[in-house]
């Protein structure tokens, strides 16, 4: 299970951080989304799926 953000279209909305604060952060330089844990443990997956759903730019993916 790999989490990725395609930064090319990320708008730095922080929805991923709200959905799964342990897995995502925003870069201090430009506010864009960052993946902190690219292979998150099972208990964090619901939050990651929520981030995939909420990301307004549709750039968060979870490869199952």
Partner 1 sequence: MTEAAVCPVPHENRVHPLGAPAGFAEAISDGPVKMLWPNGVEAWVISSYAGVRKVLSDPRFSANKDGQPEMRTEGEQVLGLPEPGNMNVMDGDAHLRLRRPLARAFMVKRLNEMRPRIQEIVDEHLDAMERAGAPADLVSSVCLPVPSLVIAELLGVPPEHQALFQATAREMFGKNGSRAEYEAKAEELDGVLLKVVQEKKASGTTDDLIGLMVNDTDFQMDELLFLAIGLLAAGHETTSNFFGLFTLTLFEKPDQLAILKRDPGRADVIVEELMRYTVGRLGGAGLARRAVEDVEVDGVTIKAGEWVAVTFQANLDESLCPHAGELDLERRAVSHLGFGYGPHQCLGANLARAELQILLRTLFTRFPDVRPAVPVAEMDFREDMITYGAATIPVVW
Contacts of 28 by beta carbon, 8 Å cutoff, 6+ apart? none
Q: What is the DSSP letter of 3?
A: E
**6 binding partner 1? (CB under 8 A):** no
Binding partner at 18 among ligand SF4, partner 1, none, C-beta below 5 to 8 Å by kind: partner 1
Query: Residue from 4, 9, 36, 38 that binds partner 1 (CB under 8 A)?
Result: 9
CB of 15 to ligand SF4, least distance (A): 4
SS3 61: strand
- Going by C-alpha positions, the residue among 18, 23, 17 that lies closest to residue 35 is 23
**Can you give the binding site for partner 1, defined by CB under 8 A?**
9, 11-14, 17-18, 25-26, 28-32, 50, 53-54, 56-58
């Amino acid at each position: 299970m790999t989490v990725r953000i395609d930064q090319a279209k990320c708008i730095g909305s922080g929805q991923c951080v709200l959905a799964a604060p342990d897995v995502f952060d925003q870069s201090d330089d430009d506010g864009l989304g960052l993946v902190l844990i690219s292979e998150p443990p099972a208990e964090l997956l619901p939050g990651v799926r929520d981030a995939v759903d909420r990301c307004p730019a549709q750039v968060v993916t979870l490869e199952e």
